[in-house]
Amino acid sequence: MYVFKLEINLKFISFKETKLCKFVLRILYIHRKARRKEREGESAGDPKLYLQEALLERKLPELDMRQLVDLPDGLDYNEWLASHTLALFDHVNLLYGTVSEFCTAASCADMTGPGGRTYAWYDERGKKSRVAAPQYVDYVMTYTQKTVNDETIFPTKYANEFPAQFEGVVRRVVRLLFHVVAHMYAAHFRQLALLSLHAHLHLTFAHLTALDRRFALLDQKETEVLRDLEVALRLSEPARGAGAAPDADDASPRRRSPVVTQPLASA
């Protein structure tokens, strides 16, 4: 598993450092340009700061990410899903924690993603409710923490087995974590960039995307809001025209068929 430390030291935010100064000024320029359009009566739209070339950096190349999620021979499928789910939860939780003070009921009245996508919360009984982004994220983190700590769902003791519905639980957790990632891109990417944490967000997004492409954990209607970022980060190819042959990822039998593995005890 990849591991990174999110160490925030305010001392590194210094305008004496020329490189950082130019970086911050570029972000402020883009922000002011969008605000100017609003004042002039133009539609600012979604500037999508995360698509700017200068901010498209991440720590691992695509090949390494694919190898990261590829199921090793002899390893139980559920064990593999569990380890990646825990890693994603930790990283998303840490990243959101760095910008949580900017995510308030006033600034983020809705749980939104790029392109105006809005997410509603569904409780365990399936009741739908519209909540502010910080409340939604709190629900996600509370639900996920409770789930991964449940020994009947994420077993850690010897001889305890994963439940039959484990993959379904993972699908829901990954989908909810994707919503949090999408919200950070839509509403808080500027703060993450100013803290020099944008590359870590890209890395977490790349990890989540690679895991989904390997095991088909998310519906395409969920991931389409960040499809342009997938292309920009070279995690996937641009959409082809009608009648074109499918790309290598779409044609992959691993993407289309369920993964069948043997537990270690019977390997």
- DSSP label of 122: E
What CATH number should be reported for the domain holding residue 183?
Answer: 1.20.140.30
36 and 65 in a single domain? The answer is no
pLDDT of residue 259: 31
Tell me: do 158 and 206 sit in the same domain: yes
Q: Computed from CA positions of residues 181, 52, 69, 158, in that sequence, does the dihedral angle turn out positive or negative?
A: negative
Residue ranges for the chain with pLDDT beneath 70 = 1-47, 58-63, 239-267
218 assigned to some structural domain? yes
The DSSP element (H or E) to which 134 belongs, if any, is helix 133-148
DSSP 8-class letter at 128? E
Whole-number Å distance between alpha carbons of 207 and 169: 19
Q: Are residues 24 and 78 in the same domain?
A: no
Helix axes 77-99, 166-187, angle to 10 degrees: 30
Question: Binding site: residue ranges?
Answer: 103, 108, 183, 188
- What's the confidence (pLDDT) of residue 132? 97
Report helix angle 166-187 to 133-148, nearest 10.
150
Q: Residue 51 forms beta bridges with which residues? A: none
Tell me, yes or no, whether 89 and 197 share the same domain.
Answer: yes
Q: Do 75 and 133 belong to one domain?
A: yes
- Look at residue 249 in the predicted model and tell me its pLDDT: 44
Q: What domain count does the chain have? A: 2
Per the annotation, binding residues for Zn(2+) are 103, 108, 183, 188
In a shared domain, residues 76 and 58: yes
Establish if 253 belongs to a structural domain. no
Do residue 105 and residue 30 come from a single domain?
no
Q: Provide the domain limits for residue 218.
A: 54-236
Q: Is residue 101 part of a domain?
A: yes
Are 28 and 146 part of one and the same domain? no
**Amino acid 215: pLDDT:** 95
pTM score of the predicted model: 0.73
Eight-state DSSP code of residue 149:
T
Residue 7 sits at φ, ψ, to 5 deg, of -100, 115
> Per the domain annotation, does 246 fall within a domain?
no
